[in-house]
Structure formats: structure tokens, C-alpha cells
Amino acid sequence: MSLSFHQENQKESLYIQVYQHYRDLIMEHRLPEGSRMPSLRKCAQELKLSRTTIENAYLQLAADGYIIAKAQSGYYVTGIASQEPAPDKNTARKHPDVRYDFASSGVDRESFRFDLWQRYIKSALRQNERLLSYGEPQGEEDLRQVLCEYVRQHRNISCSPDDIVISAGVQSLLHILCPLVADRKTVSFPTPSFVQGSTVFSDYGFQIHYRDKDCDIIYVSPAHMTKWGEIMPVSRRMELVHYAGTHGSLIIEDDFENEFVYLQKPTPSLYSLSGGHEVIYIGSFSRLLLPSIRLSFMVLPPSLAESYRQRASFYNQTASKAEQIALCQFIRDGHLAAQTRRLKRLYSQKTKALLQEVRKIFGTDSQIQIGAAGTSLALTLPCSFAGKDLKQKALSRGLRISILREEPGYITLLLSCSSMSEEDFAPACILLHEIVS
């Protein structure tokens, strides 16, 4: 094996290098589906690395679906490389014959009051004078005031509107944040699946680690730990804040889908637990309003807010001014709170209904994983098809599915109820059952 791993880097980074090496081999089909991975011992010998390093890399590969363990036999390459790339967010539009879509990241068409939003946009567009000038780099002042009050009420975050930066989505926030924290070198993400986040950090030269609390920066989504909605328990939140505090790490708290935590309370924000020190809080509206509205914000801790202010004028605002004005008034009039209550009720009821339907139709043969939040569940089924074929077969019958993992004889699907209507759950599950059998 002609590999050179940078030994000077620390242990965590070595295992990620091994992980990435094998991930690339698998994705490029150079390690074909079904082939056996070298044993831990052999691999460690060849790469001149410790067995633990290799084992960590293999565990991560398995966690991300690239390989699977067979008892007393070793690790085998899954069919992941033959699957379609990232779930296409527009497929529903491109395949007009899709009847049931378990794979969409869109929102429920019943959930959003278009007429209401139209009214607010229309009213924002009437503010001619204000629209004739560029937006404030930091975001419109009135919206920052409203957001300041919003996070105080809902997340117990006490800050000033001057600490808030508005942008068109989380990536745009990170483009402002990364240069501010350029003195740090390493950043840890919970999983390799949040590519949009890790790409930005890696573009700026940060080293990306996974689940490594000894990094300079720790990126977490406490209300979205897994795709099936597991949330971070309060005890772990406190632990994390304490650990980061004593080690001088910076936490980035991406509060994605916190509004959809149904079953558990309270879920204090890391920002509030830390007392506002060394935690950056990120909030978004794509799940509450429309995915197509690009509006996110971050709350900077005092030290970073100060450095930001010195650079604020170097960055243009990316979010639409009209949408900022509309959102500001929309929140003031209480519609965001009402919309959150409505969605929470809707998605809680829908995930429960989907769970019941799945239990009824797939019975005891299946295994279901479901968290305390979100709009999805993970379903593991006996299945003799390769994931790729199953996906194709389902699509040809008007059903879109997303595959989370493949093991020999078993397949794990991620079923999202977010863009489907409730009466479709039963026929969609029956159809899926037919296809898998």
C-alpha cells in the first residue's frame, strides 16, 4: 500500500486520514461493494499505525455507512458508492410522477400560510425609500432587535442587537465567522454528513475532526444529533459547556430544529448554560417558514462581537432586505410563534401517525429508531435488494426513498414525513412493503 500518513499530526487526525483514504477508495469503486476490508491487525502493520487508530477509522466508516461489520468475519464494503449522490432537493419537481416522497427535505404544503407571508412581503415592498439603499452589513436593525427579544424569550439568551449578525443561511454566517476565529486550527463536527458546514471550515484551512471534544472549535446541533431526531440530553449539554470552558474551546451551537423537540423538556441552549461565554448561537428559519427563504442569524459572544464590529463594513449583507423587513413585522405580530406552535403540533402528530403505520405494516421484523425531535424515523428491514436497486424499483412505482445504511440481508431507510400528507402514510407504507418483499 503506497500511503503516507502525516505522523506529526495528532492521533485523531490520523484516524480521519485513514477514514478518508478508505472512504475515497470505496466511493471511487476501487474497493468494490462486498469486498472484505483488511483485518485491523494487517492494516495497522501495513500503515505502521496503531490498531486503535485503524479501529477508530473503521468504526467511523461503519457509522457513516461505508462498511459493515459481520460477526467473526470482519468488515465489508457496502453498496453506498453505487447509490445516487446527495439526496436531490428538487427531485420531486424533476420526477413529476412521484406520488409519495419519503425522502424530501421540503416542508408540508399545509404548514405554511402563503397568503399571510405574501401580505407581509407586499407591505415590505411598499417601503420604497428603504429599499432604494443597500442593507446594513450586519442585518436590518429592527429585525436584530426583534431577534434579540425572540432568543431571550425562547432560548434564555440575553444579548444585545449589536451581538446579532443576520445572513442568507448558515454558510454565509460561517463565511463571516471563520475569519474571526482564524487563530484556531481544528474544528469538530458530530458527523461527516453536514458537508456544507465542514466544507466552509476546510476552505479556510481548518482541520476537520469528528466527535472530538479536544478541538479548538466544537460544532454541534443539540436538537438534531441524528437524522432521526435524537437530541442532546441536558446532562451532556452541561458537560460539554463545562469541558469546553475549561479547555478554552469555542462552541458553535447550531440550534437546527430545536422548535421540533416534542417529547422532552427542557432543552436549555448551550449559550445560556455557558452564560454567554465562548458559545456562538445559530438560528435559522428555513424549517419554520419556507426552505426557500434564506434567513439565518448568529449571536456572537462579547469578545467576538467586538472583533466583528471592526470588520463589519468589509462584508455585504447577503439576505434580501425585503424578506428581512417582512420577517421583522411577521415576528412582531406574533405569527412566528403561532407558526411554530402549528408546526410542532403538526409534525408531532405526523411522526406519531407514521410510526403507528410503520409498526402496523412492517410488524416485528422491523426495527425502528426515532428521537425526541424532527420529522423522520429510521426503519431497518430485512431486504435482499441492493440499496441502489431498491431505490430505482421504488421510484419506478412512484415512491421516493432515502437509504441510510445497508447490511447484508438488511436495509435501513430514513422515512421523512415532513412533505407528505398524513392520508398518504398508509398507501405509501403498503407500497414500500410490497417493493421490499
Q: What is the rounded distance in angstroms from the CA atom of residue 148 to the CA atom of residue 40? A: 52
Per-residue binding letters, 145-174, with its own copies (x by CB under 8 A): ----------------------xxxxxx--
Q: Which is nearer to its own copies, 246 or 292 (CB)?
A: 292
**Site for its own copies (CB under 8 A): which residue of 70, 122, 152, 360?**
122
* DSSP letters for 235-303: HHHHHHHHHHHHHT-EEEEE-TTGGGB-S------HHHHTTTSSEEEEEE-TTTS-TTS--EEEE--HH
Q: Which is nearer to its own copies, 54 or 200 (CB)?
A: 200
Among candidates 268, 252, 245, 246, which has minimal Cα distance to 300? 252
Please report how close the Cβ of residue 169 comes to its own copies at its closest, in angstroms: 5
Q: Which is nearer to its own copies, 5 or 112 (CB)?
A: 112
**Site for its own copies (CB under 8 A): which residue of 55, 64, 136, 407?**
136
Which cell numbers hold the place of 131?
429599499
Q: Which is nearer to its own copies, 126 or 152 (CB)?
A: 126
Count the residues in the chain. Answer: 437
Long-range contacts from 364-369, C-beta under 8 angstroms, 24+ separation: 369/226, 369/228
**Site for its own copies (CB under 8 A): which residue of 40, 81, 164, 178?**
178
Region binding its own copies by CB under 8 A among candidate stretches 104-112, 343-351, 363-371, 394-402: 104-112
Among candidates 211, 369, 196, 215, which has minimal Cα distance to 284? 196
Please report how close the Cβ of residue 286 comes to its own copies at its closest, in angstroms: 7
- Kindly give, in sequence order, each residue whose CB lies less than 8 Å from that of residue 284, ignoring residues fewer than 6 positions away: 169, 170, 255, 256, 295, 296
Does 92 contact its own copies by CB under 8 A?
A: yes
Region binding its own copies by CB under 8 A among candidate stretches 68-76, 113-121, 270-278, 330-338: 113-121
Distances (CA, A) of 314 to 140, 203, 322: 16, 19, 22
Please report how close the Cβ of residue 110 comes to its own copies at its closest, in angstroms: 10
Q: Which is nearer to its own copies, 105 or 191 (CB)?
A: 105
Among candidates 241, 53, 10, 259, which has minimal Cα distance to 153? 259
Torsion sign, CA atoms 376, 381, 386, 390: negative
**Site for its own copies (CB under 8 A): which residue of 30, 89, 152, 236?**
89
Region binding its own copies by CB under 8 A among candidate stretches 30-38, 44-52, 198-206, 392-400: 198-206
Q: Which is nearer to its own copies, 179 or 268 (CB)?
A: 179
**Site for its own copies (CB under 8 A): which residue of 269, 286, 339, 366?**
286
Q: Which is nearer to its own copies, 56 or 207 (CB)?
A: 207
Q: Which is nearer to its own copies, 171 or 340 (CB)?
A: 171
Q: What is the size of the binding site for its own copies (CB under 8 A)?
A: 63
Does 195 contact its own copies by CB under 8 A?
A: yes
Q: What is the rounded distance in angstroms from the CA atom of residue 88 to the CA atom of residue 91? A: 5
State phi, psi for 73 to the nearest 5 degrees: -140, -30
Q: Does the N-terminal peptide bond of residue 96 adopt cis geometry, omega within 30 degrees of 0? A: no
Region binding its own copies by CB under 8 A among candidate stretches 6-14, 66-74, 84-92, 392-400: 84-92
Q: Which is nearer to its own copies, 172 or 272 (CB)?
A: 172
Q: What is the DSSP letter of 194?
A: -
Region binding its own copies by CB under 8 A among candidate stretches 175-183, 229-237, 363-371, 406-414: 175-183
Q: What is the rounded distance in angstroms from the CA atom of residue 324 to the CA atom of residue 125? A: 11
Does 109 contact its own copies by CB under 8 A?
A: yes
Q: What is the rounded distance in angstroms from the CA atom of residue 222 to the CA atom of residue 180? A: 23
Q: What is the rounded distance in angstroms from the CA atom of residue 290 to the CA atom of residue 82? A: 32
The partner residues of 67 in beta bridges, in order of sequence, read 77
Subset of residues 395 to 434 that bind its own copies, contact rule: CB under 8 A: 419
Please report how close the Cβ of residue 252 comes to its own copies at its closest, in angstroms: 16
Subset of residues 288 to 347 that bind its own copies, contact rule: CB under 8 A: 290-294, 311, 313-323
Please report how close the Cβ of residue 400 comes to its own copies at its closest, in angstroms: 13
Which cell numbers hold the place of 245?
470552558
Q: What is the rounded distance in angstroms from the CA atom of residue 415 to the CA atom of residue 62? A: 21
Give the binding site for its own copies (CB under 8 A): 85-86, 89-90, 92-93, 104-107, 109, 112, 114, 117-118, 121-122, 125-126, 128-136, 167-172, 175, 178-179, 182, 195-196, 199, 203-205, 286, 290-294, 311, 313-323, 419
